[in-house]
Structure 1
């Protein structure tokens, strides 16, 4: 701010000096023109000669600058000096009125040249009147004008600097409080900052709160992943280890083969559980990092259908794919959307009743829906589809498929909708459509 004021002050100083010089020049140039006009009007023609009777009023005007010296000269049509000082310089280009700078007795002076034309029977031609004056008064007036302007602008600049300092102090005062509040926080405390601040600093606080919200979401996802891994993997790993130990000690071949088959089934379930836990953590991470690109929701349904082809072929009835003719455009993360759709279809194939259908609906919002002929999950799961491992308590599955779909819908500004009617159960992921 000080730099701005100093640069502005320098510009104003130059402008004030230029304005003072211009104003002084115009004021005293008018006096010169007035004096020259008075002299020109006093010229009369007698016989064949021009007579000049210099009026006192001309010198009274120029006497307004008492410290300056005056010079005048009147020239006839032939260039002969009729009266005045022969040393007064003539202009390089004479006109009706011409101003020019020169010297008088070694001092800088300002001159005006005025021409009066006569067309008498006995006298015809132009008479040139030259009046000059030294420039001390002009310089003093220019300094006075510049000084007065600078005094006013200096007072205004000081007031502006004071107000600017007060405004900046008021605007920046919350920053030390915010810094102190952050220093006193526990490293795990990522709650929003609640500090009163003006609009300029409020934008910074909002950005900090948004960043801490995203960071808290990532840390929560990591904590859930670590906690879920510690809690959910311990039992199946212990079971596989126990079955492996029993199989190694079992002498009967048929019983050992059954134990190996059981170990394989447990390993497959564990692998599926690990995949879903990692997918859930990936979805939470991509919610804040993955770019949102234009996506045709029909492509998401097709990818989910193709990814579940092994389950589709193994089911008693084929899955129907219902797609509209026109594209259903949304803006989102294709990988996350496809993962959500795969889990919704896998849940219907595992827990629902055939036939199963997956499709896209283009209504007020874009909808990806999966329908089966069953009754759907219990009310405890419908109340909060974001609960992880709800399927374990409800009797089967990893319990993460619906939580993954809910996380994807929430990160895209959508929601999960579950309805039951005479035709069965439908679960839909509703998403806002992309504006063309």
Structure 2
């Protein structure tokens, strides 16, 4: 586990500037490579056009010196044709003049003729291997329509391609030098611009490093739109963290106060019991000690339950759940802990599933706390009912007691806000239910009258078919 973690950290340690530098370098490298390929192709094309004109000019001059004398085809190759071909320095020159029947009048007899079926008037160029060298040739036709001789005379002039290659490489090299210089300048300017653009991030980093660890107030700084979104996200996170820290501090302070109060009362009753000789008063003190011990045990259990629910609110994913199954599982788990009180709980479940999106553990803890409150502070019979309609699902725990009395309905579900005047009460049951409701985007609903009281956990009803997709 440690090695992959270190590798992940090393992967994340690459800075944005370094990654952008690599990306820009790769892009420019690809651009230069494409430019080299394109420049070489263009240079080769331009060189071929230039040298092909020399071949074309020489072929035209030779074609003009082809005659038919006394029924025979004769050719007088002018010196100017060779002078024209000699403009391609250091190149070997080849030529061939062939009659319509393929007989060579002059030149290299083994030089291959073109394989083209038709040759345009301006000539046809082709490349072949001749005597171990790569040769580019131009074929041109001279049509004869004499009484003794008629047909096409093939005029072939060619030379090697070294000068063409040198010209193409020279043009490509010059183009590459220009592109490489421009690319390097672009890369440098891009890095400078990137450095300037990333200054707001450096200011955020400096502000975070210089801030006191206990200061969770939002940042207030002017930044570009892209960076302002990051600042807003950091401020939202710090706001959530500040609320969580404050809630945890209040929770720890309230819990410590409640635990100290219970322990102090338990100690005071035990000290009184040590000095008491009257059996009746001693029995009364024992009952008080027992009640305080039960309350302290319940407080400890609910503190652990509240901590688990709080943790899962930040980590547990919401999954499709049938609220009927939650009610059955919660009633069974509570019955295993409550012993004989299980028989006093009635279940009222619909035949159709009531689907919600939630965390099964948190919902079961909320229902168990509602059942505990109903049995501890209400009157039997206690019932659990599940229903769903109009986009809302609810699980209702009811009893025949007087219910919760609070001066302000907003106080319902606050930690230790409602005191039932019983030492067995921990004062966290409804707080757990309220936090579970908020975690599931729901609420708590209270209803009383006609000798009954009920508390409902109301949740958004999920689309079962949509959840299964």
Coarse TM-score class (shorter-chain normalised): 0.7 to 0.9
Q: What is residue 303 of structure 1 aligned with on the other side?
A: 329
How many equivalent residue pairs?
430
1:271 offset after TM fit, Å? 0.4
Correspondence for 1:358 among 359, 362, 384: 384
1:389 offset after TM fit, Å? 0.3
Alpha-carbon spacing, 1:40–1:260, altered in 2? closer, same or farther (3 Å): farther
Question: Could you tell me the TM-score, scaled by structure 1's length?
Answer: 0.78
Q: Residue by residue, what CA displacement relative to the aligned partner does 1:53-109 show, whole Å, maximum 9, x if unpaired?
A: 76999899979x6768665431335665424x54x97238744545126689x9975
Correspondence for 1:401 among 417, 429, 448: 429
Q: What is residue 112 of structure 2 aligned with on the other side?
A: 91
Which residues of 2 match residues 7-406 of structure 1 at below 5 A? 7-28=29-50, 31=53, 34-35=56-57, 38=60, 42=64, 48-52=71-75, 72-76=95-99, 80-83=103-106, 85-86=107-108, 90-91=111-112, 94-96=115-117, 97=124, 99-100=126-127, 110-114=136-140, 122-123=148-149, 127-133=153-159, 135=161, 138-139=164-165, 142=168, 145-146=171-172, 149-150=175-176, 153=179, 157=183, 160-161=186-187, 164-165=190-191, 167-198=193-224, 200-201=226-227, 204-205=230-231, 208-209=234-235, 212=238, 215-216=241-242, 219-220=245-246, 222-253=248-279, 255-309=281-335, 314=341, 318-352=344-378, 354-363=380-389, 364-372=391-399, 376-392=403-419, 395-396=421-422, 397-406=425-434
Question: RMSD of aligned C-alpha atoms?
Answer: 4.3
Alpha-carbon spacing, 1:71–1:425, altered in 2? closer, same or farther (3 Å): same
CA contact 2:28–2:183 (8 Å) conserved in 1: no
For 2:181 and 2:25, locate their aligned partners in 1 and report how far apart those are by CA, in whole Å.
17
Alpha-carbon spacing, 1:414–1:50, altered in 2? closer, same or farther (3 Å): farther
Alpha-carbon spacing, 1:410–1:91, altered in 2? closer, same or farther (3 Å): farther
Q: Residue by residue, what CA displacement relative to the aligned partner does 1:203-226 show, whole Å, maximum 9, x if unpaired?
A: 654664565456546544543443
Does 1:431 find its partner at 2:452? Answer: no
SS at match of 1:285: helix
Q: What is residue 4 of structure 1 aligned with on the other side?
A: 26
1:272 offset after TM fit, Å? 0.5
Moved more, 36-45 or 124-133: 36-45
1:388 offset after TM fit, Å? 0.9
Q: Residue by residue, what CA displacement relative to the aligned partner does 1:149-193 show, whole Å, maximum 9, x if unpaired?
A: 547745764675366335523542222111111122221223444
For 1:225 and 1:339, locate their aligned partners in 2 and report how far apart those are by CA, in whole Å.
18
Question: Could you tell me the TM-score, scaled by structure 2's length?
Answer: 0.74
SS at match of 1:350: helix
1:237 offset after TM fit, Å? 0.9
SS at match of 2:216: coil
1:249 offset after TM fit, Å? 3.5
1:292 offset after TM fit, Å? 3.0
CA contact 1:174–1:195 (8 Å) conserved in 2: no
For 1:131 and 1:319, locate their aligned partners in 2 and report how far apart those are by CA, in whole Å.
110
Moved more, 381-390 or 178-187: 381-390
Unaligned 5+ segments in structure 1 are none
Alpha-carbon spacing, 1:222–1:207, altered in 2? closer, same or farther (3 Å): same
Q: Residue by residue, what CA displacement relative to the aligned partner does 1:15-51 show, whole Å, maximum 9, x if unpaired?
A: 2343233422552475367447746865565664334
SS at match of 2:361: helix
Alpha-carbon spacing, 1:295–1:125, altered in 2? closer, same or farther (3 Å): same
Alpha-carbon spacing, 1:253–1:206, altered in 2? closer, same or farther (3 Å): same
CA contact 2:32–2:176 (8 Å) conserved in 1: no
1:283 offset after TM fit, Å? 1.3
Alpha-carbon spacing, 1:413–1:48, altered in 2? closer, same or farther (3 Å): farther
